[in-house]
């Protein structure tokens, strides 16, 4: 890997690009759309409130994800030219297929959650033992 970016554990010289949990944009968008139709720009704002405030999701990733999901039939869209201000919006809504996809994602994320807990518990447990045995 040629220089130009750095790893985050090296005292604050910069952060790696891949901080966030991966493959999380799609399920988040599906959940937001389950709560009602919306368009890309607004979904980006919603994602911030969702827990990505400090490190907002890239807009390119959001729009691409939406179009890919439309190709797969998980969402459907219509142009909304009547809206208040600014250019036309492509308003997405969840399909029945998207509803199933969301349920599938949630099942996977619950498993992820369990694995993550096992990892963190193992870390904490090991660190406690470590302190107890040799602390010099």
Partner DNA sequence: CCATCTATCTGCATTTTGCAGATAGATTAT
Partner DNA sequence: ATAATCTATCTGCAAAATGCAGATAGATGG
Q: Which listed residue (31, 46, 50, 90) binds DNA by CB under 7 A?
A: 90
Min dist CB 118 to a copy of itself, Å, is 5
Contacts of 102 (CB under 8 A, 6+ apart): 27, 30, 31, 34, 94
Q: Is 122 in the site for a copy of itself (CB under 8 A)?
A: yes
Q: Which listed residue (71, 81, 85, 134) binds a copy of itself by CB under 8 A?
A: 71
For helices 40-47 and 59-71, give the axis angle rounded to 10 degrees: 120
Total residues contacting a copy of itself (rule CB under 8 A)?
45
Pick 28 or 89: Cβ nearer a copy of itself: 28
Contacts of 120 (CB under 8 A, 6+ apart): none
């Amino acid at each position: 890997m040629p220089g130009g970016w750095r790893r985050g554990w090296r005292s604050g010289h910069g952060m790696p690009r891949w901080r966030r949990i991966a493959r999380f944009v799609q399920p988040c968008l599906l959940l937001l759309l389950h709560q009602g139709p919306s368009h890309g720009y607004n979904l980006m704002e919603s994602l911030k409130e969702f827990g990505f405030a400090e490190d907002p999701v890239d807009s390119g990733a959001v729009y691409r994800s939406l179009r890919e999901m439309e190709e797969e039939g998980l969402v459907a869209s219509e142009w909304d030219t009547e809206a208040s201000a600014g250019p036309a919006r492509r308003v997405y809504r969840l399909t029945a297929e998207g509803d199933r996809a969301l349920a599938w994602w949630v099942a996977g994320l619950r498993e992820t959650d369990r694995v993550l807990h096992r990892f963190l518990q193992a870390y904490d447990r090991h660190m406690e033992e470590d302190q107890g045995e040799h602390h010099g």
